[in-house]
């Protein structure tokens, strides 16, 4: 919430920003505001999630080749006899099917398809470039956010200065109206003078209200872009 002070008729508002003090002095330096925007802006957070998702997809694509590779290990217990398949009179040294019936056995089985052989590298390359594109998109989003924040930050400063002038105009026209009313009560004024003073006051009042709306709109838009409440953006 923004307080405009007693002179603006909003004395009960919580004082987060003072319209009579330059907003650039009240808020954190712009570089610090930009760091907060990168950390908390909903738009940047969305880009970060997209980048992380594509990074995970790239890692998974590279690892998918391993799904066709499997390993095995087992252990058989018993004596040291040799199991031979075939003619028992055959020399075991010449029998390719002879093996010990106990001990550890381990091995690896791999089955590679033609797609994995010729097409997998293109899928991995596509995932890699998708990830790189997401990183570039994130950098571009940060650049666009910085540009928009610069424009909005300057709009806040400008709208505050305009509002200060309009509030002073409203106060001056109110003073002129009170004087015209007093003169009219004393019989020294005219209805035309009073009507003119009243018209100028209401015009200046409408102008200051419009200025308040513009200033508040800029403040709340700035909050939304950063994803941080205005009270956390003040200097301490």
User: Does residue 77 carry a pLDDT above 60?
Assistant: no
Q: Is 135 helix (H, G, I), strand (E, B) or coil?
A: helix
Which is it for the CA torsion 203, 204, 210, 213, positive or negative? negative
Angle 148-149-150 from CA coordinates, rounded to 5°: 90
Distance set, CA 104 to CA 74, 84, 95, 203 (Å): 6, 18, 21, 97
Q: How many CA atoms lie within 13 A of 87 on its CB side?
A: 5
pLDDT score recorded for residue 159: 93
* Domain made up of 6-62+118-229: CATH architecture: Up-down Bundle (1.20)
| 164-192 tens-digit pLDDT | 999 999 999 999 999 999 988 888 878 88
Q: Which helix (H) or strand (E) holds 108?
A: strand 103-110
> Token pair of 205, please?
């009042």
Q: What's the whole-model pTM score?
A: 0.62
Alpha helices in 186-226 (DSSP H): 191-226
| 136-158 tens-digit pLDDT | 888 888 888 999 999 999 999 99
Percent of the chain at pLDDT above 70?
Answer: 69
pLDDT score recorded for residue 70: 56
Residue 11 banded pLDDT, cuts 50, 70, 90: very low
User: Does residue 62 carry a pLDDT above 60?
Assistant: yes
Q: How far apart are CA 181 and CA 95, in angstroms?
A: 125
Which is it for the CA torsion 110, 115, 117, 121, positive or negative? negative
Q: How far apart are CA 138 and CA 142, in angstroms?
A: 6
User: Does residue 3 carry a pLDDT above 50?
Assistant: no
pLDDT score recorded for residue 10: 42
Distance set, CA 121 to CA 55, 62, 118 (Å): 16, 9, 7
Q: Would you kindly state where each structural domain of the chain is located, as residue ranges?
A: 6-62+118-229, 68-112
> 152, 160 in Cβ contact below 8 A?
no
User: Does residue 66 carry a pLDDT above 70?
Assistant: no
Q: What average pLDDT does the chain have? A: 77
Q: How far apart are CA 82 and CA 98, in angstroms?
A: 6
Which carries the bigger pLDDT value, residue 211 or residue 108? Answer: 211
């Amino acid at each position: 919430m923004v307080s405009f002070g007693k002179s603006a008729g909003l004395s009960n508002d919580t004082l987060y920003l003072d319209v009579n003090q330059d907003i650039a002095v009240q808020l954190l330096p712009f570089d610090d505001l930009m760091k907060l925007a990168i950390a908390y802006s909903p738009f940047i957070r969305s880009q970060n999630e997209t980048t992380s998702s594509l990074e995970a997809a790239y890692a998974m694509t590279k690892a998918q080749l391993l799904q066709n590779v499997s390993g095995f290990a087992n252990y058989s217990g018993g004596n040291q006899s040799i199991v031979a398949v075939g003619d028992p009179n055959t020399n075991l040294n010449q029998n390719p099917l002879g093996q010990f019936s106990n001990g550890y056995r381990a091995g690896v089985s791999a089955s590679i398809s033609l797609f994995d052989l010729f097409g997998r590298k293109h899928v991995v390359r596509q995932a890699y470039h998708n990830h790189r594109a997401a990183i570039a998109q994130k950098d571009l989003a940060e650049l666009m956010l910085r540009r928009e924040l610069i424009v909005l930050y300057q709009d806040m400063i400008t709208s505050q200065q305009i509002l200060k002038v309009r509030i002073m105009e409203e106060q001056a026209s109110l003073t002129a109206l009170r004087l015209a009313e007093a003169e009219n009560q004393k019989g020294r004024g005219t209805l035309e003078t009073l009507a003119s003073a009243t018209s100028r006051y209401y015009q200046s009042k409408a102008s200051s209200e419009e200025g308040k709306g513009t200033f508040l709109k800029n403040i709340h838009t700035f909050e939304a872009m950063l994803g941080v409440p205005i009270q956390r953006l003040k200097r301490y």
